Amino acid sequence: PYVIVCNHQASLDLLGMVEVIPERCVPIAKKELMYLGTVGWACWLSGIIFIDRRRREDAIHVISQTARTIQHHNVR
C-alpha cells in the first residue's frame, strides 16, 4: 500500500488527477467538493472519499477507517 499526496490548486484539478493516478487508487477530497453540482456528482460517482477538514476528529476517523479497510482486504 502507498499514499500519493497531491497539492492541487483548484477544485477541477482533482478530476484531472483521477485520470493520471493508478487504477486501484482512491482519491480523498475535501467535503466541499461534493456540493459543486456536476463536479460533485462526478467525484461521488467515481468513488472519491470525502473528508470534512473543519472537523479534525471526523477527518481522522474517515482516513483511519479507509486504512483499516485497505489492510483488511490486503489491497494497494
User: What is the total count of domains within the chain?
Assistant: 1
pTM value > 0.85 = no
pLDDT digits (tens, 9 = 90+) for 9-25: 776 676 677 677 777 67
In a domain, 37, yes or no: yes
Structural domain includes residue 56:
yes
**Closest to 43 measured CA to CA, from 6, 16, 5:** 16
- Alpha carbon 43 to its chain's center: 9
For 20, the domain range is: 12-72
Alpha helices in 1-76, H assignment, sequence order: 13-20, 38-45, 56-73
Q: Is residue 50 part of a domain?
A: yes
Residue 4 within a domain: no
pLDDT of residue 30: 82
